């Protein structure tokens, strides 16, 4: 790097010497108006234009010094500038032009004589205050002359308190050189600002595209916005020389300040992100200083007058500090910000060297060194763009390495793919052979599975039939016990009726005078009552037998209107008698709470009867098991309730038995699940009941229970 720097300096010196000896112009034909030889006094007094006026007490101030609108000196918005000059012999009687660029209005006097009144056309009506004029002027002697300028400007509303303006710029030039010099000046300014905006704009676009392609790197977004703000700031810097009112100048100045401040903040944020350094109190202190400076500019004025560069200087110092911390890391990429700063320093040193060479050339060789401006501009660009361009190039380098790594990985993947393809073909051949063997085994297993499935279906059908037969057996026992009562009544009343018939016959064989007709009538009345009771109990027995037949045969599946209260009461008694038929010692308190005027419901009575028998038998079994271990005061109780809720008829069967444990509760409706000892249950009762209620009748069968306290099953049947 040192050799490269020495080479650049050596080449610059050779080029300067060669070109400086070729291009020379005479400086005797020009007259410079010194910037520091002007004297200034605020206010207005026509005597100040007189060449005999003594202005030695006036303040020395350049006519191009920017006017701070908050400066008390300019409270009257006007003042006078005076300068003494002595023409050189080379410009005597030459056709000269006084080039005037001003913001505002002015009156120019030469030796007390009014030379020109320069005032923009709409100066008094709120229009533009900018003006450029070329005033003819000629000197005929080399005596001392006094040039006086009365300057004033219009104070327009501003949006930023720190707004300032450049009042005047005066230059003497030959008439033939006025147009070309003005064009050259404009071109150089446009080229420089255009280059700066172009580079920053391109960098902003590139970083936005990088961020869009890879959102995992937020530094691209940060630098993109930073370059965009620098682009906007450069545009405002160029535009500020063309806007014509203080309002527009202040607005442009505000946008310029905000853009530059945001650009520097984002540039500092970007270097923190690049070296992966945590942002601490130093970072936030610098950012706060920049923001305070911007707010101060907007509301009060320029911060610390000539020290307004301090906030941006702090940003640069913190940037240098972070870059130095990155330099200490082993990661080569983290050293790039420091290397960019080194390039900026080298360019700055070269600028100083070129400035020294320019001074030597003008003082010794009397050469025209304007060509050095190009070199100085290039070096200045190196100073300005080394930092952002360096960061951008590092990110591009990172993408290049990533792309190269992806290319290497792609080639490895292609090689592996070729190997995998060969292995896959071999596997396909092996799999084809294995598939043939598996197909044969699958066919064989399929036949076996079909046989096992048929056997399973047959077993399930047998188990279902067994459950039905078990239910039928229990119900039959209850029916047999229930039918015994009407049969006993029939037998008893039949025997009594035979005795009554014998008494009637005995009475009828007596002679007519000895027969007791009242006794015969009483016996016939008793006989008629006995026959009626025999008929009633016979019908009751026939009803029980008919119910038994309906329960035992296969259901037709036809729904018919049914009185739910009657159906529940009948199956409750039958199930209870069936339980007592198996265990003579079993007793339970039956509580029925049937809702009166319950509407008929379309159901399959035989199927709902099976459901009720299963629920009743489970309830009887639960209270029986609890009575074996409960205290002597335990009273087995079964309560049955019917009711109606909205469009549903409700049946609730509740017992005070041992309840259902929580780990069993979710399984009670599963097929073949039972808590009864082996041989006492098939595990299909509640499963079949659930299918009958839910699938067969579109209702709901649910259970509520508490272990050791109670169990309550609820049947809900829809009423259509």
pLDDT in tens, 179-190: 777 776 666 667
d(CA 687, CA 696): 13
Nearest-CA neighbor of 478 among 572, 577, 382?
Answer: 577
d(CA 110, CA 96): 14
Rounded mean pLDDT, 380-404: 65
Residue 152: the pLDDT is: 93
Q: How confident is the model at residue 579 (pLDDT cuts 50, 70, 90)?
A: confident
SS3 (DSSP) at 240:
coil
Nearest-CA neighbor of 545 among 624, 618, 482, 627?
Answer: 482
The pair of three-digit structure tokens given for residue 3, joined into one six-digit string: 């050799």
Helices 281-299, 246-274: inter-axial angle, 10-degree rounding? 180
Task: Give backbone dihedrals phi and psi of 146, rounded to 5 degrees, phi first.
Answer: -110, 125
d(CA 266, CA 247): 28
Residue 332 has pLDDT above 80, yes or no: no
**704 within a domain of the structure (yes/no):** yes
Is there a contact between 274 and 219 (Cβ–Cβ < 8 Å)? yes
Residue 545: the pLDDT is: 65
Residue 12: the pLDDT is: 38
> Which residue, 126, 155, 184, sits at the end of a domain?
155
Q: Which of 30-39, 209-218, 240-249 has the lowest mean pLDDT?
A: 30-39
The 10s digit of each residue's pLDDT in 87-106 is: 888 788 888 888 899 999 99
Higher pLDDT, 554 or 46: 46
Q: Ramachandran region of residue 305, left (φ > 0), alpha (ψ -120 to 50) or beta?
A: left
**531 within a domain of the structure (yes/no):** no
Higher pLDDT, 535 or 476: 535
Higher pLDDT, 552 or 314: 314
The pair of three-digit structure tokens given for residue 126, joined into one six-digit string: 């709120």
Is there a contact between 688 and 612 (Cβ–Cβ < 8 Å)? no
**232 within a domain of the structure (yes/no):** no
What is the tally of helices (H) and strands (E) in the chain? 13, 18
**674 within a domain of the structure (yes/no):** yes
d(CA 520, CA 265): 131
Rounded mean pLDDT, 398-421: 78
Residue 244: the pLDDT is: 87
Nearest-CA neighbor of 249 among 94, 412, 128, 420?
Answer: 128
Contacts of 618 (CB under 8 A, 6+ apart): 685, 686, 711, 713
d(CA 79, CA 48): 10
CA atoms in the 13 A half-sphere facing the CB of 110: 15
**517 within a domain of the structure (yes/no):** no
The 10s digit of each residue's pLDDT in 163-172 is: 888 898 888 8
- Domain of 109 in residue numbering reads as 32-155
Residue 13: the pLDDT is: 35
Rounded mean pLDDT, 394-417: 75
Residue 650: the pLDDT is: 92
**103 within a domain of the structure (yes/no):** yes
Residue 292: the pLDDT is: 86
Nearest-CA neighbor of 44 among 84, 71, 74?
Answer: 74
Q: Which of 105-119, 263-277, 325-339, 647-661 has the lowest mean pLDDT?
A: 325-339
SS3 (DSSP) at 644:
strand
The neighbour count for residue 505, using CB atoms within 10 Å, is: 9
Q: In what order do the strands lie in the sheet with 648-655?
A: 589-593, 637-645, 648-655, 710-718, 700-706
Q: What domain count does the chain have?
A: 2
Residue 8: the pLDDT is: 38
d(CA 104, CA 151): 7
Following DSSP, what letter does each residue of 361-401 receive, concatenated?
A: IIIII----TTHHHHHHHHHHHHHHHHHHHHHHHHHHHHHH
Q: How confident is the model at residue 24 (pLDDT cuts 50, 70, 90)?
A: very low
Nearest-CA neighbor of 133 among 190, 161, 173?
Answer: 173
Nearest-CA neighbor of 302 among 129, 79, 67?
Answer: 67
Higher pLDDT, 684 or 717: 717
> Which residue, 155, 170, 198, sits at the end of a domain?
155
The CATH number covering residue 657 comes to 3.30.565.10
The pair of three-digit structure tokens given for residue 422, joined into one six-digit string: 């060969």
Residue 544 has pLDDT above 70, yes or no: no
Q: In what order do the strands lie in the sheet with 78-85?
A: 59-60, 39-42, 78-85, 145-152, 105-110, 113-118
Higher pLDDT, 510 or 308: 510
SS3 (DSSP) at 146:
strand
d(CA 134, CA 127): 21
Beta strands in 442-584 (DSSP E): 560-562
Residue 125 has pLDDT above 70, yes or no: yes
d(CA 503, CA 158): 140
Ranked by mean pLDDT, the top range of 67-81, 289-303, 509-523, 548-562 is: 67-81
The CATH number covering residue 43 comes to 2.60.120.260
d(CA 6, CA 706): 97
Ranked by mean pLDDT, the top range of 17-21, 44-48, 345-349, 430-434 is: 44-48
Rounded mean pLDDT, 574-579: 80
> Which residue, 155, 189, 220, sits at the end of a domain?
155
Write out the H or E segment, with its range, that includes residue 603.
Answer: strand 601-603
d(CA 603, CA 720): 11
The 10s digit of each residue's pLDDT in 616-675 is: 888 888 888 888 877 777 888 899 999 998 888 999 999 988 888 877 777 777 765 566
Strands 78-85 and 39-42: antiparallel
**691 within a domain of the structure (yes/no):** yes
**140 within a domain of the structure (yes/no):** yes
Rounded mean pLDDT, 180-202: 74
Residue 48: the pLDDT is: 92
Q: What SS3 string covers 315-333?
A: HHHHHHHHHHHHHCCCCCH
Residue 150: the pLDDT is: 94
Q: How confident is the model at residue 481 (pLDDT cuts 50, 70, 90)?
A: low
d(CA 624, CA 583): 10
SS3 (DSSP) at 43:
coil
Q: How confident is the model at residue 377 (pLDDT cuts 50, 70, 90)?
A: low
């Amino acid at each position: 790097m040192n050799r490269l720097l020495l080479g650049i300096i050596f080449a610059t010196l050779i080029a300067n010497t060669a070109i400086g000896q070729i291009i020379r112009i005479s400086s005797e034909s020009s007259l410079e108006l010194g910037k520091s030889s002007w004297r200034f006094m605020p206010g207005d007094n026509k005597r100040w234009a007189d060449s005999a006026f003594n202005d030695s007490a006036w303040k020395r101030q350049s006519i191009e010094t920017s006017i701070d609108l908050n400066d008390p000196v300019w409270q009257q918005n006007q003042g006078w500038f005076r300068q003494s000059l002595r023409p050189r012999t080379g410009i005597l009687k030459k056709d000269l032009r006084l080039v005037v660029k001003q913001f505002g209005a002015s009156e120019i006097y030469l030796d007390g004589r009014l030379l020109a009144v320069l005032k923009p056309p709409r100066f008094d009506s709120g229009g533009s205050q900018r003006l450029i004029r070329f005033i003819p002027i000629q000197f005929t002697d080399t005596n001392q002359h006094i040039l006086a300028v009365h300057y004033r400007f219009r104070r327009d509303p501003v949006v930023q308190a720190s707004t300032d303006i450049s009042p005047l710029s005066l230059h003497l030039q030959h008439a033939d050189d006025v147009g070309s010099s003005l064009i050259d000046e404009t071109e150089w300014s446009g080229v420089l600002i255009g280059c700066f905006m172009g580079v920053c704009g391109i960098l902003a676009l590139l970083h936005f595209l990088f961020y869009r392609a890879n959102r995992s790197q937020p530094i691209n977004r940060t630098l993109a916005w930073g370059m965009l703000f620098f682009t906007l700031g450069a545009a405002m810097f160029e535009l500020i020389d063309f806007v014509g009112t203080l309002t527009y100048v202040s607005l442009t100045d505000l946008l310029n300040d905000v853009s530059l401040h945001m650009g520097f903040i984002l540039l500092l944020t970007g270097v923190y992100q690049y070296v992966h350094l945590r942002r601490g109190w130093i970072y936030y202190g610098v950012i706060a200083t920049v923001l305070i400076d911007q707010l101060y500019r907007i509301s009060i004025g320029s911060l610390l007058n000539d020290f307004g560069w301090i906030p941006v200087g702090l940003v640069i110092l913190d940037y240098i500090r972070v870059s130095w911390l990155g330099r200490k890391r082993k990661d080569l990429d983290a050293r790039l910000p420091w290397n960019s700063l080194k390039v900026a320093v080298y360019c700055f040193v070269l600028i100083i060297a070129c400035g020294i060479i320019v001074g030597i050339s003008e003082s010794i060789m009397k050469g025209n060194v304007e060509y050095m401006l190009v070199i100085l501009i290039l070096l200045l660009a190196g100073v300005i763009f080394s930092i952002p361009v360096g960061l951008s190039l590092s990110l591009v380098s990172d993408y290049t390495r990533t792309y190269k790594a992806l290319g290497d990985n792609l080639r490895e993947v292609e090689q592996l793919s070729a190997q995998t393809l060969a292995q896959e073909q071999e596997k396909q051949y092996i799999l084809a052979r294995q598939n043939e063997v598996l197909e044969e085994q699958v066919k064989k297993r399929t036949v076996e599975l079909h046989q096992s499935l048929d056997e399973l279906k047959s077993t399930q059908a047998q188990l279902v039939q067994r459950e039905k037969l078990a239910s039928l057996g229990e119900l039959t026992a209850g029916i047999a016990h229930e039918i015994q009562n009407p049969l006993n009544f029939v037998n008893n009343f039949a025997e009594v009726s035979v005795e009554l018939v014998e008494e009637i016959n005995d009475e009828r064989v007596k002679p007519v005078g000895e027969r007791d007709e009242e006794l015969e009538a009483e016996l016939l009345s008793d006989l008629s009552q006995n026959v009626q009771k025999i008929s009633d109990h016979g019908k009751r027995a026939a009803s029980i037998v008919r119910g038994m037949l309906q329960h035992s045969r296969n259901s037709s599946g036809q729904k018919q209107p049914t009185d739910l209260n009657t159906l529940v009461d009948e199956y409750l008694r039958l199930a209870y008698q069936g339980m007592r038929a198996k265990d003579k010692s079993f007793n339970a308190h039956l509580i029925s709470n049937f809702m009166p005027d319950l509407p008929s419901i379309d159901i399959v009575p035989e199927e709902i009867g099976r459901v009720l028998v299963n629920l009743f038998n489970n309830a009887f079994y639960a209270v029986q098991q609890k009575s074996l271990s409960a205290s002597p005061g335990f009273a087995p109780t079964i309560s049955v309730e019917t009711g109606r809720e909205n469009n549903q008829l409700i049946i609730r069967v509740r017992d005070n038995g041992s309840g259902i444990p929580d780990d069993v509760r979710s399984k009670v409706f599963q097929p073949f699940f039972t808590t009864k000892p082996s041989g006492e249950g098939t595990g299909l009762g509640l499963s079949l009941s659930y299918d009958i209620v839910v699938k067969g009748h579109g209702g709901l069968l649910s259970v509520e229970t508490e272990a050791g306290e109670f169990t309550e099953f609820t049947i809900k049947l829809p009423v259509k």
